[in-house]
A = this chain, B = another copy of it.
Amino acid sequence: MNIEVIAIGDELLRGLIVNANGAFISRALCLQGLKVARHTTLPDHFDKLKEGLQEALQRATCVIATGGLGPTCDDCTRKIAAELFHSPFHFDKRVAEDLKRRYGQDLITLQDQATVPSHAEVILNTVGTAPGLIFHSAGKTLILLPGPPPEMQPMFTKDILPFLKRHFPQEHKEKIEQIHLCLLNENLIDPLLRSLKERYPQIDFGIYPGYGTVTLSLSAQDEKALQSAKKEITAAFPHKIFSSPQGTIEEALHLWFLENKKTLACAESCTGGMLAEKIVSNAGASEYFLGSFVTYADALKQSVLHVPESILKAHGAVSEEVVRAMLDGVFQISGADFAIAVSGIAGPAGGSTGKPVGTVFAAIGQRGHPPDVVRFQLTGSRQTIVLITTFRLLAALWRKVVHKIPCFQG
């Protein structure tokens, strides 16, 4: 069983959009024990697309392609797939009825979208207009799905995964263990990983750095070796390993707050709402998350969070004194059990000699207790600084609540 995932569209090759479908599909397959051998992104150009699809079908048993199915005139994937699988087209009444029901009689692309290759299994699209198609013959499978993630994702989960499980039962049960770490960098894990790799040659090790977190992936058929290696890693980083099905620190934090029935609020400046956004990306965050005060303007830091004007004037908005006052303010207004306050210079402008771009001050605390306050210095683009700040603060709070360790200790 050899799977390749293809994304189709000039928009991807021109960098207009990021290919998120490859990761979504790969992750879903990986969780089923199915490995993806390659991702390819191909243009909307008929001959080049046909060539790329043919190559992939030669290498792989199953090719899953997204995009190029829309009713617009630059989409030619269906035609190519029908050629490759020698299929005529026919008008599919079931697709037509479904489109009429959802879009009305006047949908101009109805005729086009309901005309499908006769040799393909048709998957109805519950969100958009283009149906999915499964070609399956002579030991090769080609699955075509619409490109927009809101259309592709439900189709993949509801129809394609069950199809794959039915047709490609897992052959050799390779076990995969993922270990998620925070608050450390790649260089710190390297010596241990080198040693483990020597002593466990039967295990495949992977190390995947994120913004402020690192995921280790161990895969092997030898379950005993896998657990033994995992134990060594766990012992080496007892307070830096977090547990999260999705592998995100915001989910680990989410699970703790749900379980411990404590509440959380934020006071943000440079992160501009990203702390809140990461927290509420978890369904059910409303159980504990009260909200965030994105006080971008100093006037709002004063009027909403009650940061004294004198402190802002004396120390500047990016200072230890201001994040302490912001934290006091957010506790006072929200009554939350825990809170994060942050103010920094995300750049590219706004830096000074004493506080260059990338200077961040943060305060994290529990109501009624003295907060942990820190200054750190980051480098990179505006977006990088905001991302690293966000995930570092979420990780620091996670370690504080789970392991009772001051937020900004090594």
A35 contacts partner chain B, Cβ-Cβ < 8 Å: yes
Which B residue sits closest to A147, measured CB to CB? Answer: B209
A285 contacts partner chain B, Cβ-Cβ < 8 Å: yes
Chain A window 31-47, contacts with chain B (Cβ cutoff 8 Å), 1 for yes, 0 for no:
00001111111111000
A41 to nearest B CB, angstroms? 4
Chain A window 284-306, contacts with chain B (Cβ cutoff 8 Å), 1 for yes, 0 for no:
11100111111111011001100
Please classify the interface of chain A as helix (H, G, I), strand (E, B), loop, or mixed, using the class held by over half of its residues.
Answer: mixed
- Return the contact of A23 from the options B12, B334, B349, B382 (Cβ within 8 A): B12
- Return the contact of A273 from the options B11, B41, B44, B274 (Cβ within 8 A): B274
In the A-B complex, list the 9 residue pairs whose CB atoms are closest, starting with the nearest: A15-B27, A273-B273, A273-B276, A272-B280, A15-B26, A39-B41, A11-B208, A150-B380, A292-B294
- Asked whether A281 lies within 8 Å of B15 as measured between CB atoms, the reply is no
- Asked whether A40 lies within 8 Å of B37 as measured between CB atoms, the reply is no
Which B residue sits closest to A21, measured CB to CB? Answer: B18
A141 contacts partner chain B, Cβ-Cβ < 8 Å: no
A265 proximity list for chain B (CB < 8 A): 300
Instruction: Give the copy number.
Output: 2
- Asked whether B300 lies within 8 Å of A296 as measured between CB atoms, the reply is no
- Return the contact of A190 from the options B42, B108, B205, B294 (Cβ within 8 A): B108
Of the listed stretches A88-96, A191-199, A361-369, chain B binds A191-199
Docked pose: A349 CA to B284 CA in angstroms: 8
Chain A window 1-35, contacts with chain B (Cβ cutoff 8 Å), 1 for yes, 0 for no:
00000010111111111111011111111100001
A272 proximity list for chain B (CB < 8 A): 273, 276-277, 279-281, 285
Which B residue sits closest to A48, measured CB to CB? Answer: B37
